[in-house]
Structure 1
Amino acid sequence: MEIAEMTSLFSDAIYLVVSMVAVLVVPGLLVGLVIAVFQAATQVNEQTLSFLPRLVITLLMVLFAGQWLLQQIADFFHRLFMNIPNIIG
């Protein structure tokens, strides 16, 4: 396997990881930002007020995007396993 093919394989893997993490983390970050602004405006410093909505949003994103996430990783591994003869020889 040539360097260009290996580089392409690694870049696809990194892109997959970044996109999967972004789908799960970005909504939680946005909700956390909104809640932080609300807490700063009202001066309410309750820890569960910031933790619970982020947890719920993350779990909802796993629920809604879980099938897409699993399909993406299955496609990548299928492509990787089909390229094993090219990698070895």
Structure 2
Amino acid sequence: MSEDMIIGILKDAISTGIKVSAPILIVSIVIGLVISIFQATTQIQEQTLTFVPKLIAIALVGLITAKFMNQTIVSFTERIFEIIASISK
């Protein structure tokens, strides 16, 4: 196993992790920002106000993007198995 192969695998793993987590993280950040602006303008300083909308939004995004996430992770896993099979030959 060469150094270039290891770097390629790590690069692929990081990009796969970013692709899979990005939709949920982006929605969570946007919802948090909108609620923070709402709290600042109305001066409602309830700490638990951000929890329920974020939880609902993350659940919806998870349901909507589940197929994409599954395909991305399965594709990555297949590539890793192909690499393992080629090394053992």
TM-score (norm 1): 0.90
Letter in 2 for 1:64: I
Aligned to 2:72: 72
Which ranges of structure 2 fall in alignment gaps of 5 or more residues? none
Runs of 4+ in 1 over 4 A off after TM superposition: none
Aligned to 2:10: 10
Aligned to 2:55: 55
Identity of matched residues, %: 34
- State the SS of the aligned residue for 2:65: helix
Aligned length: 89
CA distance in 2, matches of 1:13, 1:21: 12
Question: 1:82 Cα shift?
Answer: 1.4
Letter in 2 for 1:10: L
1:38 aligns with 2:38: yes
1:9-28 matches, cutoff 5 A: 9-28=9-28
CA distance in 1, matches of 2:52, 2:32: 10
CA distance in 2, matches of 1:85, 1:59: 37
CA distance in 1, matches of 2:4, 2:86: 13
CA distance in 2, matches of 1:76, 1:84: 12
- State the SS of the aligned residue for 1:83: helix
